[in-house]
Amino acid sequence: MNLTAIWSIYRFEMTRFFRTLFQSFLSPVLSTSLYFVVFGAAIGSRIDQVDGIDYGAFIVPGLIMLSVMTQSISNASFGIYFPKFIGTIYELLSAPVSFLEIVLGYVGAAATKALFIGVVILATSSLFVDLSIAHPMAMVLFLLLTCLSFALMGFIIGIWAKNFEQLQLVPLLVVTPLVFLGGSFYSISMLPPIWQKVTLFNPVVYLISGFRWSFFGTSDVPVGLSLLAIGGFTLACLCVIWWIFKTGWRIRE
Amino acid sequence: MAAILSISDLRKSYDGGFEALKGVSLDIDEGEILALLGPNGAGKTTLISTVCGIISPTSGSVKVGGHCTLSDFRAARSLIGLVPQEINLEPFEKVINSVRFSRGLFGKPRNEALIEDILRKLSLWDKRNSQVKELSGGMKRRVLIAKALAHEPRVLFLDEPTAGVDVELRKDMWEVVRELKANGVTIILTTHYIEEAEAIADRVGVIANGEILLVKDKDELMTQLGQKQLCVHLSAPISDVPASLAAHALELNAEGDALIYTYDTRGERTGITSLLNDVAAAGLVLADVSTRQSSLEDIFVGLVSGDKA
Ligand SMILES: Nc1ncnc2c1ncn2[C@@H]1O[C@H](COP(=O)(O)OP(=O)(O)OP(=O)(O)O)[C@@H](O)[C@H]1O
Ligand SMILES: [Mg+2]
C-alpha cells in the first residue's frame, strides 16, 4: 500500500478546499440560516410540532443530510472528473498507485469536506434552535457513513461523466429529488397512506430517518433498517468501484 | 550493458479499430539516450503512453528494469518519469506544490533540498510560489519536467520536451538531460527537431505508421546511410556537363559554375580520384572543392517517404 501517495492525493485535494475555505464555510452557513428563516420561522410557526419535536429542531437532521449528501457527491465527482478533464490524470495512471489508493485519496478528501460542512451546519443550527442529541455515537456513525457512501457514489459519477453536463445530471435529476422527497422537511407519517408506502422505495428515507433517530430517538422506519440501507448502499458503491478497477472503464484507453 | 527497457511485439488498437502500434519491439540500454523520430501520427506518444501505463496495450509486453508493466506495475512504474507532450497541469496549484505532489504520488518521502535543486536547474525557483496558470507556456513545460524528475526516475520519457521552449532554455534543458545521463538515467525522447536528435542522442529510432523502421547507433547511422556531396566549383561557368564526364553522373548547378557529385561513403571506392582526373582532363579549372555530409534530417525524410512509396 502506497500510503504516501494516498496522503499526497488527499492533501492535494484538501488544499483546493482550503483555497476556497471562505466560500466553503460561508455558503452552508448562509443556506442553513435561510432555511431556518423560511422553514423554521415562517412555516414552522404554523406547524409547531412534528412527532412531538419543535419543527425548527425537527428539520436540522434533514438539513444536514441534504447538504452532506449533495456535497459528498459533488466534491468527489468533481475531484476525479477535473483531472480527467484537464488531462492531469496521466500522472495518476503512470504513478505506482493502485486504483484503491486513488479511491481512498479522492473519496477520503471529498468525505472530509462534506463532514466539515455537516458540522458547520450543525453548529449554525444550534444558534437558531435548542438541540439535544440523544445518541451521539450513532449520529457520528450515520454522518460518517453517509459522507463515505455518497462520496463513493460521486466518485463513480465522476469516472462515468464524459462532460460537465453529465457531471451535473445525476445529482440534479436523481439525488436532489430523492433527498427532498426523503423526508428532510417532514415526517413520513404526515403523508397520505399511499405515499407513505411509495416513499419507502426511496433509499434516502432510511438515511434521514436513522439520522433523525440519533437526534430525537424517534424514527419513521426502524433504525436497524436504516443501518442496513446505508451499509447496503456503501457495499453497492464499492462493488461498482471494484468493477471499474477491474476493467479500467472510462479511465484507461 | 543490460536492457533497462524491453518492449516486445507491442500492439495497440484504439477503440475505433485503428491500429496505432503494429508490433513494436525495442530494447533500450541503461544509461543511453534514444531519440524517437517520426512524423505526426506515427505512434510515438501512443508508444510512450503504453509503456507508462496510461494506455492499455492490446497485446505484447513491456519490461522496465525486469519488471512487467502490467503484473508488477508498482516496481516498473516507480522507475519511470514521464514528461507528456500535452501541457496537463492543475492551473490553480502553486508550482512547488505541484512538484511535491508528484514526488508523494510515487511514494517517496519529502525531500525539499532535491526539489529546490530541480527547480533551480530548470530556472523555476523564482516562480515556485506562482500558480501554474500564471506561467508562460515554456515555463509550464519545465514544470512538467520538474514533476517528472521529482521522484528520481531511472528511465525518463520526454515527449517533445522542447516544443515551445526558447533557444536559451532549450540549451539549459539539454544541460539537464546530459547531467541526468551522467547519473546513469536512461532517456527516451521524441522530437521534431532533428538537429536535437543529432546533437544529443546515442541512438536514433525512426517510427512511422506504428512501426519502427530502424534503430541505429547515431554515428553509425550517419556514416552508413549518409550520403556525401562533393561540390567542384569552377573558375568559369559552363553551359553543359562535358561529354567526357558523363560516366560520373554529375549535376550542374543553376549558375553553371559548380559540378555536384553525390557519392555514398559506404562504397568501396568513392570515385573521387577518377572524377578529379577526368575534370582536369576535360580542361576545366577548379576554383574550390567542398563536401557536405547529409544530415539526419535528409536520412529521415528519405526513409519516411520511401516507406510510403
Ligand atoms: N485516443 C485515441 N483514439 C483513437 N486514435 C488515436 C487516439 N490517440 C491517438 N490516436 C491515433 O493514433 C495514431 C498515433 O498517434 P500518436 O499520438 O501516438 O502520434 P505521435 O507520433 O505522437 O504524433 P505527434 O508527432 O503528432 O505527436 C494517430 O493516427 C492518432 O490519430
Ligand atoms: Mg505525440
Closest alpha carbon to A184 in A31, A19, A64, A37: A64
CA A154 to CA A240: how far, in whole Å?
12
Instruction: Please provide the average confidence, as pLDDT, over all residues in chain A.
Output: 89
Which of A244-248, B29-33, B124-128 is predicted with the least confidence, judged by mean pLDDT? A244-248
Question: Is residue A104 within 8 angstroms of chain B, CB to CB?
Answer: no
Burial class (CB in 10 A: 0-12, 13-18, 19+), A19: middle
Kindly give the distance from the C-alpha atom of residue B212 to the centroid of ligand 1, in angstroms, as a whole number. Answer: 15
Closest alpha carbon to B282 in B231, B228, B236: B236
Helix (H) or strand (E) holding B277: helix B272-281
Residue B298 has pLDDT above 80, yes or no: no
Which of A12-21, A88-97, B208-217, B294-303 is predicted with the least confidence, judged by mean pLDDT? B294-303
Kindly give the distance from the C-alpha atom of residue B210 to the centroid of ligand 1, in angstroms, as a whole number. Answer: 9
Which of A9-13, B92-96, B171-175 is predicted with the least confidence, judged by mean pLDDT? B171-175
CA A200 to CA A185: how far, in whole Å?
16
Judging contacts by C-beta atoms under 8 Å, the chain B residues touching residue A83 are 90
- DSSP label of B76: H
Q: What pTM, to 2 d.p., does this model score?
A: 0.85
Which of A8, A15, A96 is opposite residue B77, by nearest beta carbon? A96
Residue A154 has pLDDT above 70, yes or no: yes
**Residue B225's pLDDT is what?**
64
List pLDDT tens digits, range B53-63: 999 999 999 99
List pLDDT tens digits, range B270-293: 888 888 888 888 888 888 999 887
Nearest residue (by CA) to ligand 1, atom 2, is B14
Q: How confident is the model at residue A239 (pLDDT cuts 50, 70, 90)?
A: very high
Q: How confident is the model at residue B136 (pLDDT cuts 50, 70, 90)?
A: very high
Which residues lie with the beta carbon below 6 Å from any ligand 1 atom? Answer: A 253; B 14, 16, 18, 20, 38, 40-46, 85
List pLDDT tens digits, range B67-92: 999 999 999 999 999 999 999 999 99
Question: Is residue A88 within 8 angstroms of chain B, CB to CB?
Answer: yes
Q: What percent of chain A lies above the pLDDT cut of 90?
A: 51
Question: Is residue B154 within 8 angstroms of chain A, CB to CB?
Answer: no
**Residue A73's pLDDT is what?**
94
Burial class (CB in 10 A: 0-12, 13-18, 19+), B185: buried
Is the ipTM higher than 0.90? The answer is no
Residue B4 has pLDDT above 70, yes or no: yes
Rounded average pLDDT over A2-28: 89
State residue B268 phi and psi, 5-degree precision.
-55, -50
Cβ B112 vs Cβ B128: under 8 Å: no
**Residue B308's pLDDT is what?**
47
CA A155 to CA A92: how far, in whole Å?
15
Domains of chain B with CATH codes: 3-223 (3.40.50.300), 227-293 (3.30.70)
**Residue A87's pLDDT is what?**
93
Nearest residue (by CA) to ligand 1, atom 25, is B40
Judging contacts by C-beta atoms under 8 Å, the chain A residues touching residue B73 are 96
Q: Tell me the ligand closest to B49's alpha carbon.
A: 1
Nearest residue (by CA) to ligand 1, atom 29, is B41
Rounded average pLDDT over A74-97: 94
**Better pLDDT: A45 or B201:** B201
Q: How confident is the model at residue B309 (pLDDT cuts 50, 70, 90)?
A: very low
**Residue B306's pLDDT is what?**
64
Question: Is residue B77 within 8 angstroms of chain A, CB to CB?
Answer: yes
Instruction: Please provide the average confidence, as pLDDT, over all residues in chain B.
Output: 89
**Residue B307's pLDDT is what?**
52
Residue B295 has pLDDT above 80, yes or no: no
